[in-house]
Every structure is written in C-alpha cells, then in structure tokens.
Amino acid sequence: MATSVIMPALEMAQETGKLVTWYKREGEAVTKGEILMAIETDKAVIEIEAEASGTLAAVRAQEGDVVTVGHVIAWLLAPGETAPTDVVQTVSGRQTTGAPPQAQAVAAAQKPAGTGERALLSPKARRLAAERGVDVRAVHGSGPGGAVVAADLEATSPSSEQPGQAWRMMADRVTASWTSVPHFFLTRDVDATGMAATRARLALQGPNEAGDSVTYTDQLVALVARVIGKHPRLNASWVDGTIRYHNEINIGIATAVEQGLVVPVIHGADHLSIHDIAKRRREVIARAKAGRLQPADLAQGTFTISNLGMFGVDAFSAIVNAPQAAILAVGRIADRVVAQEGRAVVCPRMTLTLSCDHRVVDGARGAEFLRDLADGIEHPENVSVAVG
C-alpha cells in the first residue's frame, strides 16, 4: 500500500514546517530508515527518515516551502502502485485510497517524527508544556511508566523572563568583550587612611550649594583622571590592529539600574574639581536611575571605574568595558591588620583590581599605573586635585 510522507509535527506548538532539503528525487528508490528530507522548525533543522521503502512520488512540497503539519507532501509507492489523487475518492462511504487526510494529520500530531518512541506525557503535562513552550523531550519523567507529569515540568524551571533592551545590550557587550578581549588582572591592596581622612575633611566643610557630598567614587574618579595622564596606554583602545590613544580623559562609572548595567561618563574628569565631579556624578546617576540618560551621557568613555564597596564586596574582577583598555574594580574600605615596620597595625584598607586588554596594556604598564594610583590614594597630598 502506498505510504504517505507528511509534514511532521516536531514540537508541541508547531503548526507548520519548512521543507529544507529533499535527499531523494522524485522517482528515486527509498529504503525504510534512509534520510528522506530535512525539516526546519523554529528551533532546529531535523532530518527525517523514510517510514517505508518505495519509490518517491507525487512530491508536492518543494525545498523552501512552508507546509501545515500533517499535510501529505509526497508518497512512497511500491512497484505498480500509483499515488492516490488529492481528492480522496469514496464509494459507499468507504475510503478506497490512502488514509483520510484528517487521520494522517492526527497521526502526525501524535508522533514526533525522527524518533521511533513517543514520550509518555500526561494530559496535564502536555497542556502545561504547550502553554509554556517547554520541550518535553528534555524533561525527565517521574510518573507511571516513566511518563512526564506536571511536577516534572515544574522542576525544569518554567520561570523565565524576556530581558529588556538595556539588559540585552549589556549581555551582548559583556559577551563581546569577554570573548574577544584578552583579559588579565592586577590586584593591589592599598591604605585608604588618606582617602578616608580627605573625605572626612570634605564632609566637615559640608555639602556644596547643590548638596553634593563627596563619595569615595568621586575621589577615585579624580585620582584616576589625574594619574592616567601619565599612562596613555591605559587611556587607549585596540582598533583594528592599532593602538589608538584618546586625547580626552573621560571616566565612566559602572552603575547598576533596574534595567541593567549602564556606564555614565564624567567627561574631562582630569580638569574637574572634586566637587564638580561629585555634582556631575550625581546628575548622570540620577538620570541613569530614572532611565533618562542622554546618548551623550554614555558616549566617549575612555576608562571605567566599578565600585562595589558599598555592597560589602572586598575585591572582584571586572570585565573590560571594550573598546576601553582597562577597568578598575574597587572593593570596600575596611579596617584590616597589616604589618608596618615590623608591627601589626590596624588601618582602613581597600583592594583594587585592574582588568586590562592585553593587546593595549601589558603587565608592566598596568602595574605602573596601579602603583601610581595607589601612591595617589595613600598620599593624596602628592596629587593635585582641586577642591574648590
């Protein structure tokens, strides 16, 4: 008897399938189990075996055609047979040729083609899987006879969310950086006594007229902006095989907002007073939290600072904010015991981790920058940071 070749339903919610390739030509002999065709669904291209031996005939779907699942797209004929016509002829209510199209559609819907076995699936699990778009073939069944039951679907974390545009951009950017930028990391523990004292002194003066009190991040932006001028490789980018130095020193501040990670930039930070940095920082971060950043707020950054000290993080490694050459990860300031002149001394310490693009910065250059930065943190009097 002639065997129909149907567009198989390979997924729960699949309504149509695209015929990608016929591996056999019309009139060619096919053996049961041979790869007959390739079908594309939303998720994959799957090769389908012939369910019977015979001659491929009456091919109705061409490569590239999108066909409703369950529809007959060809026939496999035994010698002497002809393909049934499109209209199923009936005599006295009986089918004379082929199976009724509806029956074929049902068979197709029930049988995941390409696999001989049909996975046992409770009706409830079937409904839930369809509603949630879960591929049940990957789910381990714990019900009677190994059937997939509703609880098995619960166990496969049906909870998911579509991230917003900002989050997806972050995902793309960190992936691009992590997979294309050769990272290396330098860690240095610094004495934060001077920074803490400076901050306390500025706090005693009170906030400026705009109400901007100075944070450690502001201090670090000011210090980095001044130190980096002597380390141009840290303020550069790898662009198509060349090292491009940046004229401006624009320090980005990695900022977590609900929608994802953003990096608003303090432009020309090397020329700004500590209070102007604080003012500018307050403005851009307020816009970031409100989701109202302007493109200019994010553009032209040349170096980034990521401070997680306020979350109690001691130290961490950041992903370079490409195409920038380096990023500084800042841990919290906390009292620790250190050896000074042969004695155990308690003082506020902070751990800095510099992540570098090795194509632009080598270990020695990164270390020199970090040394000078540490020196500026520990001896702020050596660095000219305007306070007014």
Query: What's the closest the beta carbon of residue 125 comes to another protein, in angstroms?
Result: 7
Position 277, amino acid: I
CA pair distance 340, 350, nearest whole angstrom: 16
Residues 6+ apart with CB under 8 A from 239: 323
Of the two residues 125 and 305, which places its CB atom closer to another protein in the complex?
A: 125
Residue closer to another protein (CB basis): 126 or 137: 126
What the block records as the tokens of 376 is 């500026």
- Measured CA to CA, the distance from residue 123 to residue 126 in angstroms comes to 5
Q: How many residues bind another protein (CB under 8 A)?
A: 16
Site for another protein in 326-385 (CB under 8 A): none
Q: Which is nearer to another protein, 1 or 151 (CB)?
A: 151
| Minimum separation from the CB atom of position 154 to another protein (A) | 11
Binding mask 121-160 for another protein (x = CB under 8 A): -xxxxxx-------------xxxxxxx-xxx---------
Cα 36 → chain centroid: 37
What is the nearest approach in angstroms of another protein to the Cβ of residue 68?
23
Closer CB to another protein, 134 or 224, in the complex:
134
User: What is the Cα gyration radius of the chain?
Assistant: 33
Question: How far apart are CB 143 and another protein at their closest, in Å?
Answer: 6
Please state, in angstroms and rounded to a whole number, the distance separating the CA atoms of residues 198 and 259.
34
- Closer of 150 and 298 to another protein (Cβ): 150
Which CB atom, from 127 or from 137, has the smaller least distance to another protein?
127
Nearer to another protein, 156 or 193 (CB): 156
- Per-position x/- string for 88-117, each x denoting binding to another protein as judged by CB under 8 A, each - no binding: ------------------------------
Q: Is 12 in the site for another protein (CB under 8 A)?
A: no
| Rounded Cα gap, residues 215 and 344, in angstroms | 29
Stretch that binds another protein, among 46-54, 119-127, 229-237, 376-384 (CB under 8 A): 119-127
> Least Å distance between CB 14 and another protein?
19
Q: Among residues 130 and 197, whose Cβ is nearest to another protein?
A: 130
Residue 115 CB, nearest approach to another protein (Å): 21
**Closest distance of CB 140 from another protein, Å:** 10
Please report how close the Cβ of residue 116 comes to another protein at its closest, in angstroms: 21
Of the pair 88, 147, the CB lying nearest another protein is at: 147
Report in angstroms how near the CB of residue 153 gets to another protein at its nearest. Answer: 10
Positions that interact with another protein (CB under 8 A): 122-127, 141-147, 149-151
